[in-house]
Amino acid sequence: MPAAPRSVLPDGGVMAAPTLTRVVKPIGGFFAFTLDTFVAMFKPPFQWREFIQQTWFVASVSLGPAILLGIPFVALVTFQFNLILVEIGAIDLSGSGSGFATVTQIGPVATTFIIAGASSTAICADIGARKIREELDAMEVLGIDTVQRLVVPRVLATAVNAFLLNGVMILIGLSGGFVFGVFLQGASPGQYVDSMKLLVGYPDLVHGEIRAVVFGVVGALIGCYRGMTCAAGPRGVGNAVNETVVYTFLALFPINILLTQIPYSLGIVGGH
């Protein structure tokens, strides 16, 4: 473990400045990088080939984990919710619970897990490997804008995938809830389907999809940024991927609150 660079002065007050710089500098760098990406997004030519390849790549690393993660996630929530309903004799309302939990929170939150755990890590590992092989420097030398060529297609590809993954999660949620509620905990199938729309509607679906797309964009940006700034050597790439997962989780939960609450406060969703 190499020791962190320390100030040579024994004065404690001098130590604070480098620590502050270490926290603040990457944040500033990330925002500058985000702006660069959004500027480059509208600058022609758009990299269609890279975009399609990346969409396929992100889908291939995320779809399997999404399905495998979605089933226990939904089963866990439905199982606990149905225990309450059985106790108060309202198991036939099981569909409303599944519909509400899946469309409003489980879909977007499970998408967050997949974006942070699968997509961003794969993107960061890929970009980080290119960085330490000095491919990115080589591209810069050839006059190719790495943000436009590599980052923009990845960000958009992850956004598209997040949109689709949320749909997959909702589908798994509703059908998994059906299996659990009807076959294992004794709800009636007709009542399940009928009560599904009790607490949620079309605006909630759109609300969930918008959140999923925002998560996708933020997750991909963090993965690309951390990959492009990773240190050389084996520990460098490993740490970069590790920090990508942590930062993505740290960013996505606060964003989820803001995006959940603002439409409710404005009265766009809710109130059926």
Partner 1 sequence: MAQMGARSVAESAKRLLTGPLRLLDDLGRQAEFYGKSIAWTPKAVKSYKTEQVRLIAEVGMSSGALAVIGGSSVITLFITLFAGVTGGVQTFDALQNLQLEALGGFASAIINPRLLTPIVAGAALAATVGSGFTAQLGAMRVSEEIDALEVIGVRSLPYLVTTRLVAGMITIIPIFAMAMCGAWIGWKLTQVDFFGLSEGTYDHYMDTFMQWQDVLYSFAQAVGIAVVVILIHTYYGYTASGGPAGVGRAVGKAVRTSLIAVLAVELAISMALYADSDAFRISG
List of residues contacting partner 1 (CB under 8 A): 1, 4, 19, 22-23, 61, 65, 68-69, 72-73, 75-77, 79-80, 83-84, 86-88, 100, 104-105, 109, 113-114, 116-118, 121-122, 124-126, 128-129, 132-133, 199, 232-243, 245-246, 249-250, 253-254, 256-257, 260-261, 264, 270-272
Give how far Cα 53 sits from Cα of 13, 139, 156, 159, Å.
51, 19, 12, 14
Query: What residues contact residue 202 under an 8 Å CB cut-off, 6+ apart?
Result: none
Q: Least distance from C-beta 163 to partner 1, angstroms?
A: 20
C-beta of 132 vs 205, nearer to partner 1: 132
Report d(CA 127, CA 184) in Å as an integer.
46
Q: Are 34 and 136 in contact (CB under 8 A)?
A: no
Q: Least distance from C-beta 61 to partner 1, angstroms?
A: 7
Question: How many other CB atoms are there within 10 angstroms of residue 264's CB atom?
Answer: 12
Distance CA 136, CA 144 (A): 9
Q: Least separation, in Å, of the C-beta of 44 and partner 1?
A: 32
Instruction: State which residue, 1 or 141, has the beta carbon closest to partner 1.
Output: 1
For 163-184, b/e burial (b = at least 16 CB within 10 A) is ebbbebbbebbbebbbebbbee
**What is 101-150 written as a DSSP string?**
IIIIIIHHHHHHHHIIIIIHHHHHHHHHHHHHTTHHHHHHHTT--HIIII
Least separation in angstroms between CB 13 and partner 1 = 18
Q: How far is the CB of 46 from partner 1 (least distance, A)?
A: 27
Name which of 28 and 271 has its Cβ closer to partner 1: 271
Minimum Å gap between C-beta 212 and partner 1 is: 15
Alpha-carbon 33 to chain mean position: 18
| Residue 148 or 177 with smaller CB distance to partner 1 | 177
Nearer to partner 1, 88 or 142 (CB): 88
How many angstroms separate the CA atoms of 246 and 260, rounded?
A: 21
Q: Which is nearer to partner 1, 148 or 228 (CB)?
A: 228
Q: Which is nearer to partner 1, 114 or 157 (CB)?
A: 114
Minimum CB separation of residue 83 from partner 1 in Å reads 4
DSSP 8-state code for residue 249: H
